[in-house]
Amino acid sequence: MKKTATRLADGRELVYYDSRDDAVRDAVDRRPPAPTVTTGEIRRDALLGDSVAIASHRQDRTYHPPPDQCPLCPSRAGRLTEIPAADYEVVVFENRFPSLAGDAGRCEVVCFTADHNASFADLGEDRAALVLAAWTDRTAELAALPAVEQVFCFENRGKEIGVTLGHPHGQIYAYPFVTPRTERMLASAAAHRERTAGRNLFDDTVEAERTDGRRIVLEGEHWTAFVPYAAHWPYEVHLYPRRRVPDLLALDDAARTEFPQLYLELLRRFDLIFGSGEPPTPYISAWHQAPFHHPHRSEFALHLELFTVRRTPGKLKFLAGSESGMSVFINDVPPEAAAARLREVASA
């Protein structure tokens, strides 16, 4: 992998990731410099203990532009975009409309391909491996920032999820705090450790799913994918490396090599869940990594959670009163049935 860092006209960082060592990235952002204006701040909810990002400037972010006005496509004559180059493989840049900035963290955009009409599932294994390398490199770079406590790499796909740009891309959030979801996982792991004389909750969870077998979707030599026993979403898959590691940086070469094959297969199956006549399945794909400075960091298990808000053809799973008001999820699809369906629609 070759990494080439540069700056956009307004000073934001942009990084190209190329599979070829001889790739040359010398295009200059020729747009007029216009400083990025952010009004973000972090506020603490005294009742719940949650941190909330207040970011009013995001009201003005780009919203569903036509394909020929996409800011994530390569630049061309008469149409300058966020990416100065005429083509690219994978590129990462600071978000023009960040939820987190400065001492409050950092937000980045990850473009998986220059092809506006593609999706992650369309990528070949080599490109998916390059994206994994970019996620890993950004995790390392952002971990070095003084304010950052946790890095979250994720992809939102589909208008139903709230995506405002159709180009295949994801994001990276570098939080200045440990997220509430991660805090809950770590608290559950600590309670399990006390209750079981030192056993690891993540290891025991994965082993229980492998022993039961009914919710296993895919198994490789180095990864296991399953629908969790208490899945919150209609179709939800968790993907764990067999060897527990705290974050992407700690994955070994064997796990990195196998990941693209299994992950691409999962994404292709998601697009087949509801039948070939349905539009692409909207989803969120989220990497859970350990906080950098937590005392029990080594006990956390890196894993990816993939889920869709579509529950059946033409119908979405909305977060209604119980979910939004009390954080109690009600799932209409039994996890065992979801796993069976995901096995049934194998693309190979």
Indicate which residues carry an active-site annotation: 169
Per residue in 192-205, is it b (16+ CB within 10 Å) or e — as a string? Answer: beeeeeeebbbeeb
Q: Report the Cα 220 to chain-centroid distance in Å.
A: 21
Q: Is 73 annotated as a binding residue?
A: yes
Q: CB-based contacts of 239: which residues, under 8 Å, 6+ apart?
A: 223, 224, 225, 262, 263, 266, 303, 304, 305, 306
Q: Is 238 annotated as a binding residue?
A: no
CB atoms within 10 A of CB 45: 10
> Which helix (H) or strand (E) covers residue 266, if one does?
helix 253-270
Instruction: Give the tokens for residue 3.
Output: 């990494």
Q: Which of 9, 167, 168 is nearest to 84 (CA)?
A: 9
Virtual torsion, Cα 150, 16, 98, 139, nearest 10 deg: 0
State the Cα–Cα distance between residues 85 and 233, nearest whole angstrom: 39
State the Cα–Cα distance between residues 341 and 348, nearest whole angstrom: 15
Task: Compute φ and ψ for 139, nearest 5 degrees.
Answer: -60, -45
Instruction: Give the tokens for residue 136.
Output: 């890993």
State the Cα–Cα distance between residues 319 and 325, nearest whole angstrom: 9
Q: Is 116 annotated as a binding residue?
A: yes
Residue list, annotated binding site for Zn(2+): 70, 73, 116, 167
The annotated binding site is made up of: 70, 73, 116, 167
